[in-house]
Structure 1
Amino acid sequence: MSYLIEIIRKAEQNTTVWTGGTTTQLAIFPKDALYSERNFLWRMSSAKVEVEESVFTSLPGIRRLIMVLEGELQLDHEGHHKIALAPFEQDRFRGDWTTKSRGKVTDFNLMMADGWEGSLEAITLPKGAARRFALPDSISPAAVTEAIYCVKGKIDIRVDERTETLESGDFFSLLSEKKTSVALAIINSNENETQVVHARVFHEE
Structure 2
Amino acid sequence: MEPLIRHIFPSDFVVSSWSGGTTSQIAIAPQNAQYAERDFLWRLSTATVNVQESDFTMLPDYFRYISLLKGKIRLSHNDGKVLSLSPYEIHAFDGGSATHSEGTCVDFNLMLRKGVCKGNLFCLHLAENTEMTIPAAPFTNDHHYTTVVYAAKGSGTLSARTASQAFSCKEAVMISEFSAPLLLKSHKSSIFMIAEIDTPLSAPI
Residue pairs, 1:1-205, within 5 angstroms: 1=1, 3-114=3-114, 115-135=116-136, 142-176=143-177, 180-188=178-186, 190=187, 192-203=188-199
Conserved in 1, the CA contact under 8 Å of 2:158 and 2:185?
Answer: yes
- Greater alpha carbon shift after TM alignment, 128-137 vs 59-68: 128-137
Measured against aligned partners, the alpha-carbon deviations of 1:126-148 in whole angstroms (never above 9, x if no partner) come to 112111112366x7571111110
Using the size of structure 1 for normalisation, the TM-score is 0.90
Question: Structure 2 stretches of 5 or more lacking a match?
Answer: none
Conserved in 1, the CA contact under 8 Å of 2:66 and 2:91?
Answer: yes
Aligned equivalents of 1:90 and 1:127: distance in 2? 23
Conserved in 2, the CA contact under 8 Å of 1:45 and 1:108?
Answer: yes
Aligned equivalents of 1:7 and 1:127: distance in 2? 22
Measured against aligned partners, the alpha-carbon deviations of 1:53-92 in whole angstroms (never above 9, x if no partner) come to 0000111111101011111111110155432111111211
Using the size of structure 2 for normalisation, the TM-score is 0.90
Conserved in 2, the CA contact under 8 Å of 1:144 and 1:200?
Answer: yes
Aligned equivalents of 1:187 and 1:160: distance in 2? 14
Aligned equivalents of 2:12 and 2:179: distance in 1? 30
Q: CA RMSD in A?
A: 1.9
Q: 1:161 offset after TM fit, Å?
A: 1.1
Aligned equivalents of 1:167 and 1:3: distance in 2? 21
Q: 1:3 offset after TM fit, Å?
A: 3.5
Aligned equivalents of 1:183 and 1:91: distance in 2? 26
Aligned equivalents of 1:149 and 1:75: distance in 2? 24
Identity %: 30
The amino acid across from 2:196 in the alignment is R
Aligned equivalents of 2:82 and 2:90: distance in 1? 12
Runs of 4+ in 1 over 4 A off after TM superposition: none
The amino acid across from 1:196 in the alignment is F
Aligned equivalents of 2:143 and 2:81: distance in 1? 33
How many residue pairs get aligned? The number is 199
Measured against aligned partners, the alpha-carbon deviations of 1:34-55 in whole angstroms (never above 9, x if no partner) come to 0010000110001111111000
